[in-house]
Chain A
Amino acid sequence: MTVTESTALRYQQSDPDVRLMLRVRDDDAGAFAELVSRYEGRLVRLMRTIGPKADLAEDLAQETFLRVFRARKRYEAGAKFSTWLFTIAGNVARNSARSLGRRKEISEADAGRGDLSPSSPALLTHNAPDASGLMAARLVEGDERASVVRAAVESLSERQRMAMMLSRFENMSYQEIADTMNLTTKAVKSLLSRARVNLKEKLEPYIEHGVIENGAADQQATNAEREIE
C-alpha cells in the first residue's frame, strides 16, 4: 500500500517514533536501539497476554523488533509507529501460537492422548465452574488475585485479548485498534464488548464473593508448581 506524501508528512510531524523509524530506515542503529528501549516493556507486556505462553513473551517481543528491523527499507510513514509495531506483534504472536499448535498436534499424535496446557483457555473454559464448582469460600488477595485475572484473560479469544490490551493499556481508540488489527471499528466495538462481558462473567464470583473458581484455582496451583520447579 502506497502512502501519500501528505499522510507521511503528517505522521512524521506528529509522531516522534515515526521520525525514529525513518532514521532506522536510513540504517541509523542508534535510532533502532532507542525504539527498542522505548517499546520493549510494553511489547513484553502485550506478548505475555496475547502470546501462546507467557514465558515466551520476551522472545516474541524480540522477534517483533527483528521483523521491524528487517522491514526497515520498506517502511513508509502511513500510520502511527505504535500501530505498525503492534500489528507486527499481533502477527508474531499468532504465528507463534500456530507453530506451537502444530508441534502440539505432532506430540499429541505421538503420545496418543490430549494434553492441554494447564493455562490454556480451553482448559479454563472447560473448567469454568458451576455453582457447586466454586472453591470453598476463600478470600483471594495479591498474587491470587493476579492469577485469577490472568486466568480470566487467558480464557478470552486471541483477538479479544489483543483488542483488550490495546484499549486498556495502549489507550488506543477504536479506530486505532481497527487499524492495528485490520478490522472495522464496528468489529472492534463488538470485540471489546464481548471481551468486557466475558471478563465480567469470569471474574464475577471473585468480585462478589472473593472466591476462586476451579479453573483459576487449578491455574494457581500450576503456577505455584512452576515456581517450585
Chain B
Amino acid sequence: MSVSLSADSAPSDPDDELLVAYLDGELQRGERSELENRLLVDEPLRGRLTELQSSWDMLDVLSVDGSGVSLVETTLELAIADIDSSASGDYNRTNDSLQRSKTKSRWNQRRMAPVLLLSVMAGLAAWSFAAFESRQQQQNELRDLAIAQDLDAFNYGSDLTLMRHLAANPDWIEMVETAAELSAETQPLQPLRQVALDQRQSAIEQMSVDQRELLGSRWDAFSRLSDADQESIRQLAATIETQSDRDTLLNTMRAYATWRSRLPSGLVDQIEGDDADASRQAVRDAIDESKSSMAETSGSQLDDETVDVIYFAIQEFAKKRIGKDQRRYQPPGGFRGPLENPKTREWFAIRQMFGYPDRRGPGNRNRSNGGNQNRRRDVSLTSNEFATIESLLPTQSQETLGILTNGDPTLVTMTLQVWVEEVIRRKMPLRSDKSLLQRYQDLSEKQREIVDLMPPEKMLQSISGGRSGGQ
C-alpha cells in the first residue's frame, strides 16, 4: 500500500481539521470544550491526536537557524552594488529624447545615488562597529564570568594575609581535605580562568546542566552587584593573577569561603578580626569545631554493612551486660503490643545501654561561642568495646574514620559513639528508613497527582503516614 499524499485541493477530514486547529490553539472556547469532551470518550480520536502531534514534534530537526554564516555584510555590499548599477543604468539611459520632467527626475535620482551609497557604507561601518562592540562586550562578559565563578572566594577571601596563613596551616589543610573527601560534590566546577578566552564558550557548553545552573546563579549574583563592587572584585582578581602563589591563593580562598559559611558568626568575626593572636586562636577553635561537626554528621553516611556490623557488636556487648546484671537492664514495664516482641525488647535494652547518653537540651550546647565542646561528648561504651567495633569495621568505614579523626583517640571515640547512636536509631523497630522525598517518589503517578493538589499540611500528613511535623 503506497502512501498517497493529499493535495492542497483535496478535501480534508473535518475531524483532522478540528484536531489540528486544537493543537495549534486556534479553537474557540466552546469548540475546544466540545472537542475535549469527545476526546475523553473517543479513544481512536485521542490516538489520532497523538499521531498528528508526534509527527509534528519531529520537525524539531529543522529548527536549526541558518548556516551560521552572516549575510549582513554581503547583503549590504549587494545593496550598494544594486544602487550603483541602477544609478549608472539610469545615467546611460538618459538621452535628449526623454521628456524634460523625466530627465529632471532621473537626474535627481542619479544625484541622490551617491548620497544613498554613502548612507549604506556608513550603515555598514556602523554595523561593523556595533558588531565589534558586541564582540568586545561578549569578551568582557566571558572575562567577568571567570570571576563570577569564584565570586564567594573573592567576596570572603580578600584578606590575602589570612589566606596565606591558612594555606600554611597543616591542620586547616587536613580539615579542608577531609571535608572535601566526605563531601557529596563529585564534580567540581572547572575553573574558567584556566580556559583561553576564545574557548570559554565551548567549555561552558560542555559543562553539565547542574554546573551551568550553578555558574548561572553566580553570574546573576555578580550582575546584581553595584558597578563599584564589581570593579573592586575585578581588581582583586587582577591582583591575585599577579601573585606567584596565585593558584594556592585561589584554592585557599575557595575553601575558606565554603568553610566560613558553616562556622558560627562569632568565630568568623574573630578569624577575620584585626587581633592576629585572637584570629589564630579562632582558626584553631574553628578547625576543632569543624572536625567535631564532620564526625557528628558522618553517621548519616554509614552504609548498611557498617550499620549491621556495629549493631552486631553492640548486641553482643548487650548480652554480656545483661548476663552480668539482669535487673538493671529491664525494658520498661506496663507496655503491651510491640514490646512483647523479643527483638523490640532487645532494641530497647540496647538503646538503654548505649544510646543517646549525652542527650542535650537546647540550652546545653552553645555553638555560637565556638570552641570544641563537642569533644566532651559522653560515651556509653568502654574503650575495649570501642576498639572491638573499630576492628570489625569494613575497610571503607575504617578509612573514613581515619580521615575524620586523623588518629586522634578522642575524636575516634567520639565519632564511634556518634555512629553507635546512628546505628541504634536506624535499627529502631517499625521505623521507616525512607525520607519524605523517597516516600513521595515511591507513590504511583496517580497518587502523586492527588498529593500534589493537597494543601501543604495535608500533603505532609499523607506522605508521612499521619506523622507530620516530626521529619
Contact = CB atoms under 8 A, between A and B. Distances in A.
A31 B78 CA distance: 16
Contacts of B23: 196
A197 B116 contact: no
A40 B2 CA distance: 38
A36 B75 contact: yes
A58 B115 CA distance: 29
A165 B26 CA distance: 16
A70 interface: yes
Contacts of B66: 40-45, 58, 61
A192 B24 CA distance: 9
A165 B63 CA distance: 10
Interface in A132-150: 133, 145-146, 149-150
For chain A, which range describes its interface: under 10, 10 to 19, 20 to 34, or 35 or more residues? 35 or more
Interface stretch (B54-62, B152-160, B348-356): B54-62
Interface size band for B: 35 or more
A197 B67 contact: no
Contact of A58 (B4, B56, B67, B130): B67
A149 B3 contact: no
Interface string B1-27: 111111110101100110111011010
B124 interface: yes
A193 B20 contact: yes
A145 B59 CA distance: 10
Given A29-B119, A30-B122, A131-B1, A197 B52 contact: yes
Given A65-B71, A204-B55, A169 B16 contact: no
A201 interface: yes
A156 interface: yes
A13 interface: no
Contact of A45 (B26, B62, B76, B79): B62
A69 to B, nearest CB: 5
Contacts of B122: 29-30
- Main SS class of interface, A: helix
Nearest to B127: A33
Given A29-B76, A36-B76, A58-B71, A129 B2 contact: yes
Given A40-B70, A44-B66, A66-B78, A30 B126 contact: yes
A202 B52 CA distance: 11
B82 interface: yes
Nearest to A146: B61
A97 interface: no
A28 B75 CA distance: 15
A30 B129 CA distance: 10
B46 to A, nearest CB: 15
A189 to B, nearest CB: 6
A108 interface: no
Contacts of B2: 128-130, 133
Contacts of B1: 130-131
Interface in B115-150: 115-116, 119-124, 126-127, 130
A45 B82 contact: no
Given A29-B119, A40-B72, A202-B3, 15 more contacts: A30-B126, A37-B127, A45-B66, A61-B71, A66-B75, A149-B61, A149-B62, A164-B59, A167-B24, A173-B26, A189-B20, A194-B6, A196-B23, A197-B12, A201-B5
Interface of A: 27-34, 36-37, 40-45, 48-49, 57-58, 61-62, 65-66, 69-70, 125, 128-131, 133, 145-146, 149-150, 152-153, 155-157, 159-160, 164-165, 167-169, 173-174, 189-194, 196-204, 207
8 shortest interchain CB distances as A-B pairs: A29-B123, A41-B65, A41-B66, A33-B127, A44-B66, A29-B120, A30-B126, A30-B123
